[in-house]
Structure 1
Amino acid sequence: MPKGHTPARPQLVYLVFGAHTYHQEAQFSIVSALANLHKTPGEALDIQVYSDSLEPYQHLPVTVHPLDASTREAWNQPYGYHFRSKHVVLRQVLANAPVAALIDTDTFFHQSPIELFRRIKPGTLLCNAIGANFGDNKQCRLHQSLATMLAARGLADHSMSLLNSGVIGLVQEDASLLDQSIALMDEYYPHAQGAYTLEEFCLSVAAYRQMHVNQCTDLLHHYWSRKQLFRAKVQAWLAKHQQAPLSREALEDVARVNTQLPKPPTLRRLGYKALSLTLPSEQRQFLRELMYGCYEYPNEFDRASAPAWWDKALENANARHSQPLCHKKLHQWFDRPGMRLGLGSKHGTVRDSLLKRSQR
């Protein structure tokens, strides 16, 4: 964005770096915004992408700002806290833009992105979601480490709402809120015991009693929970439309990457539960989750979640045990008649996939 230029249009901002999966998420999030833009006729916006890779965005109508490692490192100082850069980049955009919203990559729109900006007004912070109160969980790391210090300074109390920063939207005249949140991160990082949510927590503290807060869970889906399953849907869409992401077919398919966790119908799940009773108790949930991945979903993007369901089943099984399942024990589980019956023709595929993963 040229210095001194003030764009009149709203600015939708992405910060993307690191693993290829983050770029895949960002690509689909951007296309979902464009696919839903028609729901607000006559409206337009600019999309700014700050990224360490230009190639993923070459087919998209966005402005890419090359982001090198030294710049990111500077944005993350003084402690190398990488979420600090979210507030830094949005502050930079708002220096020249009247209104902007920073969007996490693990999101996709199901309404026009213009609706985000209709919720950003002077004195209002837009976040993704307004969560529980700070005092609701006194066992959490940030409460134990920071509650007393914040209360002593009158910055926060148990009634403060905790915010999800998957979206951060502000008008230019309120950009100083980001200066406050950055200063809070820098001050409290040494006391936060490595809590990765410090960034959105400091945003909550900066906004508390100072700003009206709005949310937008009805406009876009933030899939920070069950991420593997939704990533599988996104990756299936990209495998199909990577070369022509704005084609008519690609834009129509955006709506088929829905917000629903892919699960079989209720009666089928009850059948799975009954079948799992033939196994020892420690293996029952494992089989049920494997069968969720074996179900033939009518939606092709839900079907793509099968390997993610299998991986999640193994992850959950490992979490329920004191140590990860060894290759030998996992092999024994798959050899049980109930497991063979439950997985049917996909038994070998599922077994080989997870046995291979257990050897990594």
Structure 2
Amino acid sequence: MPHAMNATPQLVYLAFGAEIYQREAVFSIASALAHSASCVSDRKFEIQVFTDNPEFYARLPVTTHAITPTWGGPHRYHFRIKHAALLDVLSEHQKAVLIDTDTFFRASPDSLFERVTGGHLLCNAIGAPLGESPSLPKQSVNYLSQTGLLQTNLRQTNSGVIGLTTADKGILEHSIKLMDDLRPLAPELYTLEELSLALAAHGKLQLNGCTDLIHHYWSRKAQFRAKIQAWHSKHHDDPLSKTAMADVLLVNDRLPRPPQPYRGWQKGVTALIDKERRQFIRELLYGCHDYSNEFDKACAVAWWDKAIVNLEERQGQPLSSEHMTLWLADPLLKLLAGSHYDTMQAHLLSRLKAKQVV
């Protein structure tokens, strides 16, 4: 006689490797709890975390699990583990949503689970048809053609969120098979896992998105990680305190930039600077604004580091210490950076020195 399935919706995380992924997961879980329509102790969903470092979650109401070594498959493809973990949960529970660590909630998780229904695949975002996207590697195209899977109307998915009912878990088995087949043919295809999921669901399940409920910060990751690191530094000892829950809501989904009128004024003033340095100076100033939100303030270093990265990409070579010292000595930069100038200068020179030592 088959055992009864657990009807309580499951929120699932997979977090392994560097500490930043664990901290992202902790914050995402805290955001789910902060937005929950019910109190933490009486919520309508359960949280499971598959991790190699369960200590991070000791102060959270979650169940932790070890990651099964075979989930990486024959090619040890780490994104395959997402589908294997969710498939494992759906063997015991009627409904589950796996969410990437680089996410946080905009609304109650209850609203998210309402979108997980039979015959549907919940994903973070629904992308353009395959025929409108950049071409896949030739080997992948050949494989898809040979198997009859190459369909230009295939809608791609962002799998920062994957939600299914147990009745539709066969889609995961199919996507895992596709990953195992395609991985040797397209080892550099970063979106293979998402493509496999879209292929498995195409023609079988309708797609539901949830960008209005979940912010997935795969873009501009450094700035959002800076916000989350600041929250973690402040609240890691008591992530469920009233203050921690209130601060979760202050970590917004906006990039911290000066107001448009002020940016326009800065753009006009910095037009006096040599063209080679102009964009670099403007990007540095994003980190020098006096933001009212303490978590926006925490992005200063991320802005300064990004300014260096962007400059070196434009130049096609690293910035020398001589040029860095000279450019940071610009009187107009000193004036516009104000009280942030000394901190910015010390950070950038230290960063450059560390790179040179390595």
Q: TM > 0.5 between the two?
A: yes
CA distance in 1, matches of 2:124, 2:134: 23
1:52 match: 52
Q: Distance in 2 between matches of 1:288 and 1:145?
A: 43
Q: Any unmatched runs of 5+ in structure 1?
A: none
Moved more, 167-176 or 274-283: 274-283
Question: Percent of counterpart pairs with the same letter?
Answer: 47
SS class of match (1:13): strand
Contact 2:215 2:253 in 1 (8 A): yes
Per the alignment, residue 20 of structure 2 pairs with 21
Partner of 2:79: 83
Distance in 1 of aligned mates of 2:338 and 2:242 = 38
2:230 is the alignment partner of 1:231: no
3-state secondary structure, aligned to 1:125: strand
Secondary structure, aligned partner of 2:183: helix
Q: Which residue of 2 aligns with 1:160?
A: 154
Partner residue in 2 for 1:37? 36
For residues 4 and 51 of structure 2, the distance between their equivalents in structure 1, rounded to whole angstroms, comes to 21
- 1:11 matched to which residue of 2? 10
Which amino acid letter does the alignment assign opposite residue 336 of structure 2?
G
* TM-score (ref. length: structure 2): 0.94
Counterpart of 1:305? 299
CA deviation string 1:153-208 (max 9, x = no partner): 32132221110000000000110100110110110111114112110111011111
Deviation at 1:121, TM superposition (A): 1.0
Unaligned runs of 5+ in 2: none
Report deviation, 1:119.
0.7
* Map 1:77-226 → 2, pairs under 5 A: 77-139=73-135, 142=136, 144-226=138-220
Matched residue SS, 2:121:
strand
* Cα contact 1:12–1:101 (8 A) shared by 2: yes
Q: Distance in 2 between matches of 1:135 and 1:86?
A: 26
Shift of 1:346: 2.1
Of stretches 129-138 and 112-121 in structure 1, the one that deviates more from structure 2 is: 129-138
Aligned to 2:313: 319
Q: Which whole-Å deviations, capped at 9, do the CAs of 1:59-111 have from their partners, x for residues lacking one?
A: 100001133xxx34x21121121111001111111111101010000000011
The CA deviation at 1:229 is 0.5
Alpha-carbon contact 2:37-2:110 (below 8 Å) kept: no
Aligned residue type for 1:161:
R
What residue is the counterpart of 1:271 in the other structure? 265
Runs (4+) of structure 1 exceeding 6 A deviation are: 39-42
TM-align CA RMSD: 1.8
Q: Does the CA-based 8 Å contact 2:38-2:44 persist in structure 1?
A: no
User: Which residue of structure 2 lines up, in the alignment, with residue 63 of structure 1?
Assistant: 63
Aligned residues: 352
When the two structures are superposed, what TM-score results if normalisation uses the length of structure 1?
0.93
CA distance in structure 2 between the partners assigned to 1:321 and 1:208 by the alignment = 43
Deviation of 1:7 (Å) = 2.1
Question: Aligned partners of 2:243 and 2:343: how far apart in 1?
Answer: 31
